[in-house]
Structure 1
Amino acid sequence: MTSAAEGATTAARTMRNVLHHLDGSEMADLLGETFLSTDVLPEDDRSKFVAEFTRAFETAAELERWNVLARTVREWKSTATVHADPELHRALSAPLEEDHGAVRPPEPELEHGS
């Protein structure tokens, strides 16, 4: 392991420990300062974001695979985008009235670093 990788791993383990000592509202405040898009999330979704971010961070730190955390942040940013656009939110929240056929499986993500 390179010196840079060791440093990143040490920082991640330290941050993981810090996360365990913060309560939910402290985490929400901390993450809200970093991820401004959470401002448009309903309170319940903000709480879910905090829980999923924390879990993804812990997993990424343990596996040393930061794409896990990046994917979680990207997915929640997409959710915030939907909440920020009332028309889009209505369209995606409305019940489907017709069958649109089979859903194709997702295409694999291209990994840009880990």
Structure 2
Amino acid sequence: MTTTNDSLPHETQDDTDATLPLTAEKCLAILTEWAARYPSARFVVITIAPDGSDAAVLGWGLALPEYVFVNLPEMRMTGRFRTADELRRLLRHSDDDIRLIWVDPEPEPWPDEET
């Protein structure tokens, strides 16, 4: 499943199968259902001193089942990643001990779609 605007329904059928445009209320209902089924998860990115005596917040992120978005102003980095693990792999290349602290439960990634 993808969350692009192209994947969301733009029309609906009535009882006679006539095509009707979606109303604002119907769009809201569809997106509310989607948000409930695929909740986002917030996280904070921190760095910890090697001796554990100090820590600092580098930025924040938001994870959806489809991708992870991160904003790390302290590292001058903004990005979109397929999973949180992909972000972790990138951050592992730093000399610092960088970790993600989840505010919400980490979402399960969607399985790769068959093409």
Q: Give me the TM-score of the superposition, normalised by structure 1.
A: 0.25
Structure 1 or 2: larger strand share? 2
**Greater CA radius of gyration, 1 or 2?**
2
